[in-house]
């Protein structure tokens, strides 16, 4: 059998395939998790490996260390059913096995081979896209989608989700006008595509269009906020628009209702809360006990350090926010040791960016402004391997501006950084705030 996009599958059960198709839609739309649908597919065809491979891919894409054993168990279950697998499914097993071993680049290379044979394999495209993001590979965030898009018919029900990926890739490569046009075109259609609303929000953020951004996310709230796994991250973007407008009370209120509290359940969601509190604090807001709030349920210890340099960095930020210098130094030391012992993408990112960035943030936390600036400034140009988006990695620029504008800071550098930001985003209220601090 083939699925509806012509990809060969190792099942003869239409019911099993139907459940797997629903799971794929959940995977790309973020509407509920696909695990129940995958269980149903496996029940309809117990010999089919694909539901187990999809489970592993979904769990791995969350970059949650606690979920690694479950992902590896799913891969083992798929291996037990390998006799009936198609070559495509076996190729997915190889890619996911590399991913589970921390070889994110190798996994993306393997998925690229799958896409050469099956350009309408949306699982391969989505997973490669995720790990392009986790590796900071902006070029492939755009180009990988572009290499397959012409193979997708305009009437394919899942094509809008491919375009949503393309819009984000275009934005991360700085093609803002094209990214916005593609994103808005998708959002004008019938499909609910949170990835497209997200891409447009990124464009508006990078151009300082904060009022448009607030209006956009309010207009599109039914797409991204109702039973959607992307809701916390969209709320974070809304908070960034509040910060650009220097509406700190609104950003704090949004943290309390949608970004913090019981809203985040995964590390990927908690990162947004940590980043938002750090930025609020840099602007002089009193965040009160919210650092303790975001730390609840988050393993901030050294046990899982090294799985994701991006996640480790934000755990470190929380420890600094808690003023727990002992645990922060322990996490930094563990990240340093782990980074020196491996060549996997997360460890290389930790070695080149994550550990120096932690040291810079620690120096800033300790009031050692010159040392913080010395450590942070070079990282602006080589932070991409850390992963995340341009907007997320701007935590570096924000901290540099705070260091430069603090008493005893480097005013000339601060002025240059602010000029750069003003050219990109205009004279927003946030720019005026930094300018006032520079001239104080």
CATH code assigned at 35: 1.25.40
CA 137 to chain centre: 12
In this structure, is residue 252 part of a structural domain? no
In this structure, is residue 216 part of a structural domain? no
Predicted confidence at residue 116, as pLDDT, reads 98
d(CA 129, CA 158): 16
What angle (nearest 5°) sits at the alpha carbon of residue 227, between those of residues 315 and 148? 80
In this structure, is residue 272 part of a structural domain? no
**Domain end: 106, 136, 166, which one?**
136
Predicted confidence at residue 137, as pLDDT, reads 97
Residue 23's domain comprises 1-136
**Domain end: 136, 163, 193, which one?**
136
In this structure, is residue 420 part of a structural domain? yes
**Domain end: 110, 136, 162, which one?**
136
Supply 398's token pair: 């924000």
In this structure, is residue 190 part of a structural domain? no
Helix (H, G, I), strand (E, B) or coil at 4: coil
Kind plus residue range of the DSSP H or E element containing 329: helix 325-339
In this structure, is residue 127 part of a structural domain? yes
Predicted confidence at residue 301, as pLDDT, reads 84
Predicted confidence at residue 343, as pLDDT, reads 83
* Helix locations, 45-193, DSSP H: 50-61, 68-80, 87-100, 104-117, 122-135, 138-146, 159-172, 176-187
In this structure, is residue 355 part of a structural domain? yes
d(CA 132, CA 104): 8
Predicted confidence at residue 345, as pLDDT, reads 86
d(CA 134, CA 132): 6
Sites in the chain below the pLDDT cut of 70:
none
In this structure, is residue 217 part of a structural domain? no
Domain count, the chain: 2
What angle (nearest 5°) sits at the alpha carbon of residue 58, between those of residues 133 and 63? 50
d(CA 250, CA 244): 11
Predicted confidence at residue 302, as pLDDT, reads 85
The answer to whether the pTM exceeds 0.95 is: yes
């Amino acid at each position: 059998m083939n699925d509806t996009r012509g990809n060969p599958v190792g099942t003869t059960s239409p019911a099993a395939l139907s459940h797997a198709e629903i799971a794929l839609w959940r995977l790309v739309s973020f509407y509920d998790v696909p695990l129940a649908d995958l269980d149903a597919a496996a029940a309809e065809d117990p010999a089919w490996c694909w539901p187990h491979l999809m489970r592993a891919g979904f769990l791995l894409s969350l970059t949650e260390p606690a979920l690694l054993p479950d992902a590896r168990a799913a891969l083992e279950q798929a291996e037990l059913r390998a006799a009936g697998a198609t070559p495509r499914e076996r190729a997915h097993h190889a890619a996911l096995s590399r991913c589970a071993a921390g070889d994110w680049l190798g996994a993306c290379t393997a998925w690229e081979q799958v896409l050469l044979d099956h350009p309408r394999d949306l699982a391969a495209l989505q997973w490669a896209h995720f790990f392009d993001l986790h590796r900071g590979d902006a070029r492939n965030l755009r180009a990988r989608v572009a290499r397959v898009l012409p193979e997708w018919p305009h009437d394919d029900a899942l094509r809008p989700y491919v375009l949503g990926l393309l819009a984000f890739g275009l934005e991360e490569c700085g093609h803002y006008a094209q990214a916005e046009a593609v994103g808005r075109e998708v959002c004008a259609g019938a499909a609910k595509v949170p990835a497209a609303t997200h891409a447009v929000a990124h464009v508006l953020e990078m151009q300082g269009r904060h009022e448009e951004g607030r209006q956009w996310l309010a207009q599109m709230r039914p797409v991204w906020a109702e039973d959607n796994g992307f809701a916390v991250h969209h709320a974070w973007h809304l908070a960034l628009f509040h910060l650009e407008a220097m509406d700190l009370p609104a950003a704090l209120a949004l943290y309390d209702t949608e970004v913090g509290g019981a809203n985040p359940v995964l590390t990927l969601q908690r990162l947004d809360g940590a980043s938002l509190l750090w930025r609020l604090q840099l602007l002089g807001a009193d965040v009160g006990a919210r650092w303790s709030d975001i730390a609840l349920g988050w393993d901030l210890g050294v046990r899982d350090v090294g799985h994701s340099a991006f996640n480790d960095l934000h755990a470190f930020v929380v420890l600094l926010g808690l003023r727990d210098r002992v645990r922060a130094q322990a996490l930094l030391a563990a990240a340093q040791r782990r980074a020196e012992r491996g060549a996997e993408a997360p460890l290389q990112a930790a070695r080149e960016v994550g550990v120096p960035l932690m040291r810079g943030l620690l120096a800033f936390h300790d009031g050692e402004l010159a040392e913080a600036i010395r450590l942070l400034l070079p990282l602006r140009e080589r932070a991409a391997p850390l992963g995340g988006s341009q907007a997320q990695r701007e935590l570096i620029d924000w901290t540099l501006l705070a260091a430069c504008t603090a008493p005893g800071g480097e005013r000339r550098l601060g002025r240059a950084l602010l000029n750069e930001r003003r050219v990109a985003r205009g004279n927003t209220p946030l720019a005026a705030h930094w300018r006032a601090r520079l001239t104080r």
